[in-house]
Structure 1
Amino acid sequence: MNSAADEDHDYNYDDELVPYVACCPITPEVAERLAGVARLPLDDPDEVESRLLALGFVDDDLEMDDALARTPEGHYVFTDEHLWVPFAYSYYVGGDLNPEDFWGTLPGWNSQAGAGQEALEAVIEAAVQAFTNVLGMPPAVDVRQDSKGRRYAAWQVDGNRLAVAQTLEPFSYMQDDHAVVYIGQAKTVPDPRSTSI
């Protein structure tokens, strides 16, 4: 993973950086499980973890320290005011700052060297299609943001919002992109349009 530069280290920036896209796909089974989460009452944060475990999520042997749980397929679930479940990352490997492919080594994840925005968009499109099929309707909102064309698609599910979004990835200090599923109350789920569905 990219990390903040250490002032005491002489980094080699001349190494070739190779673009990668890693994903843990949103299959129909994963879409059904995450839609099940969106159908739950999510107003009590103390009960969210037990509800996830009842839906087949696991909370042991987590490779990510801040994760609340993960799907059996390998998607990590993080929580803030809402749940967020990354399923793809676009990043660079090479040099001293990010010499190895971290994401591609996680259980359930695979990565492709030399892949770029088109590969990431294909993974996002497959996720949007999986949720459209499971929920039986297209997204209520489906927009592209900024010059990079970052996509945001969202559904209303039993009073909650389920959204698929390409956004800046926080683990890399906003240097890379990731694709994420947001689930939560409409007022807490990020919406780049800053309006309600």
Structure 2
Amino acid sequence: MLERGEERTGAEAPSGNGNGGRSEDADASYVAVCPVTPDLARQIVSLTDLRWDGEGAWEAGDAAMRALGWRDDAETELSFMARFVTGTGHHVYDGDRAFLMPFTELYEVGPDCAFTEDSWGGLPGWTSRKGAGRAEYDAHFSDAVGRFRTLLGPPELDAVVRDPDVPGGQHRYTGWRRGGNVLLLGQGTEPCSYHSNEEARVVISPLPADGGFPPAGNLYAFCQF
């Protein structure tokens, strides 16, 4: 995704600004990504075979993620609600959904922003690019959709929902039914920034086998913590 000579931060190349990652530019735009690799996509698909609601579901989910080699001692920066950390550095959260995993972020860094330094780009497994914007953020989302499409075929849901009240004015959602669950990739606001920035997530949630996807107007809420 990055071209030669473009600035990169994170584990592969430190920011190099000499001040611990702190930005001196006002409101600089960044995009960070922890890519969904083919192996990770296969692992996530395997989790959709679990029962994610009812008695014992929580313990079964924990055991399955631990069996994949994921860490459950999620004591890393920005992991304030993390349930597990994958082998590639993604944080898996336990919000309203059974499984919620961010994989790309769109945010601003500056003295007047929610983030005064590029915290995402410095996390293990993550990289970021200063000056990147929505086009690159959306491209990372499309890349992740492609990983799951290779395993599951075309998504049963692929919708762009326009909403002038959310950052960017629109969000994209793609989803697959998996027995009594749904696997959904969606875009939404990011809670660490008081919902001023954006992130894209992989969600697994129980959904009755005879029920359809949530209506378009409810997809934004469906992907929230």
Name the TM tier (shorter chain).
0.7 to 0.9
Per the alignment, residue 146 of structure 1 pairs with 162
Partner of 2:90: 75
User: 1:10 maps to what in 2?
Assistant: none
Preserved contact between residue 62 and residue 70 of structure 1 (Cα < 8 Å): no
Contact 2:83 2:91 in 1 (8 A): yes
Question: Per the alignment, do residues 20 and 101 of structure 1 end up closer, same or farther by CA in structure 2, a change over 3 Å counting?
Answer: same
Q: Give the counterpart letter for 1:123 in structure 2.
A: H
Specify the code of the residue in structure 1 equivalent to 2:91.
Answer: Y
Which SS does the other structure have where 2:32 is aligned? strand
TM-score of the pair, normalised by structure 2: 0.74
After superposition, the Cα gap between the structure-2 partners of 1:192 and 1:91, relative to the gap in structure 1 and judged at 3 Å, is farther
TM alignment of 1:99-138, pairs within 5 A: 99-135=116-152, 137-138=153-154
Show structure 2 runs of 5+ residues with no match. 1-23, 164-168, 220-225
The structural deviation recorded for 1:60 is 2.6
SS in 1 for 2:154: coil
Alignment of 1:52 with 2:65, yes or no, is: yes
- TM value normalised by structure 1: 0.84
Q: Which residue identity is paired with 1:182?
A: V
- The one-letter amino acid paired with 2:122 is T
Quote the RMSD (CA, aligned, Å): 2.2
Residues 1:22 and 1:192: Cα distance change in structure 2 (over 3 Å): farther
Asked if 1:177 is matched to 2:198, the reply is: yes
Residues 60, 94 of structure 1: CA spacing in aligned structure 2 closer, same or farther, 3 A cutoff?
same
Aligned to 1:37: 47
After superposing on structure 2, the runs of 4+ consecutive aligned residues of structure 1 that deviate more than 6 Å are none
Return the letter of the residue paired with 2:154. Answer: P
Cα distance in 1 for partners of 2:117, 2:192 equals: 15
Structure 1 residues 142 and 68, CA gap change in structure 2 (3 angstroms): same
Letter in 1 for 2:133: G
Question: What SS class does the counterpart of residue 125 from structure 1 fall into?
Answer: helix
The number of equivalent residue pairs is 180
Match runs of 1:9-24 below 5 Å: 16-24=26-34
Deviation, 1:81, is 3.3
The 3-state SS of whatever aligns with 1:101 is coil
Matched residue type, 1:75? H
Provide the C-alpha distance between the structure 1 equivalents of 2:68 and 2:180, rounded to a whole number of angstroms: 19
Amino acid of the structure 2 residue aligned with 1:20: Y
Cα distance, 1:41 vs structure 2 = 1.6
CA contact (8 A) 2:26 2:112 kept: no
CA distance in 2, matches of 1:101, 1:192: 35
